[in-house]
Chain A
Amino acid sequence: DQQVKQNSPSLSVQEGRISILNCDYTNSMFDYFLWYKKYPAEGPTFLISISSIKDKNEDGRFTVFLNKSAKHLSLHIVPSQPGDSAVYFCAASGRRGSTLGRLYFGRGTQLTVWP
């Protein structure tokens, strides 16, 4: 049973506009949340993360928002660029040494940014 869910398999956005990718999780014991970006035939690369003690983390064009009460996080990309077209994976983990002390991945959202 998926503990991290990305319910939108794809998202299409025009260049310059905002991209919002969503992620839901089921286990309230998750402590840390990460986003990875993946191009075809390559390994995922780390993009941005957020601790459960925060509700927002920003890095350049990328911002992650966390709503713990709703068990929901989102990744905002502003402005979107064609090079952002990739699959984005949401991941969550619990405390080190706990039974949740590993990364749980969602199924990914394919973002396409068109000119």
Chain B
Amino acid sequence: DGGITQSPKYLFRKEGQNVTLSCEQNLNHDAMYWYRQDPGQGLRLIYYSQIVNDFQKGDIAEGYSVSREKKESFPLTVTSAQKNPTAFYLCASSIWDSGAEKLFFGSGTQLSVL
């Protein structure tokens, strides 16, 4: 059963704490993405990786870090430098099909600050 798995579904962060969101895919896709959704803000790109051991900053990378040591995994760390981390985080992988990139999303992680 192919897909993208995000865990945990809900996560709570204390002040000054780093937390890591997990994203695993078994679709054999090269590219993976992290987006953040806030009410009324749509989907904003945090980081993306087009190949193992390489990643680029998206539009709102400050306060976040990622790694891509394996094709299947693209974890996102929300550091204490991210001052407003409460949001719904979405991981995605993609394929290029007929000239267009199509994203496949996980079910998301809701991060809240205690």
A contacts, CB < 8 Å to B? 6, 9, 31-32, 34, 36, 41-46, 49, 51, 89, 93, 95-96, 101-103, 105-108
CB distance from A65 to the nearest CB of B (A): 17
Q: In this complex, what residue of A is CB-closest to B35?
A: A105
CB distance from B37 to the nearest CB of A (A): 8
At the interface, yes or no: B42 with Cβ under 8 Å from chain A?
Answer: yes
Main secondary structure of the interface of A (DSSP, over half): loop
Q: In the complex, which range does the number of interface residues on chain B fall in?
A: 20 to 34
Known A93-B101, A107-B42, A108-B42; contact A42-B96, beta-carbon cutoff 8 A: no
Give the chain A neighbours of B107 by CB distance below 8 A.
41-43
B108, A41: Cβ atoms under 8 Å?
Answer: yes
Main secondary structure of the interface of B (DSSP, over half): strand
At the interface, yes or no: B87 with Cβ under 8 Å from chain A?
Answer: no
Known A43-B106, A102-B45; contact A32-B90, beta-carbon cutoff 8 A: no
Q: Can you list 15 residue pairs at the A/B interface with Cβ under 8 Å?
A: A31-B100, A41-B107, A41-B108, A43-B90, A44-B43, A45-B105, A46-B103, A51-B99, A93-B101, A96-B99, A96-B101, A105-B42, A105-B44, A107-B42, A108-B42
A89, B43: Cβ atoms under 8 Å?
Answer: yes
Contact among B35, B42, B102 with A34 in the assembled complex (CB-CB below 8 Å): B102
CB distance from B24 to the nearest CB of A (A): 14
B101, A102: Cβ atoms under 8 Å?
Answer: yes
CA distance A7 to B94 in the complex (A): 27
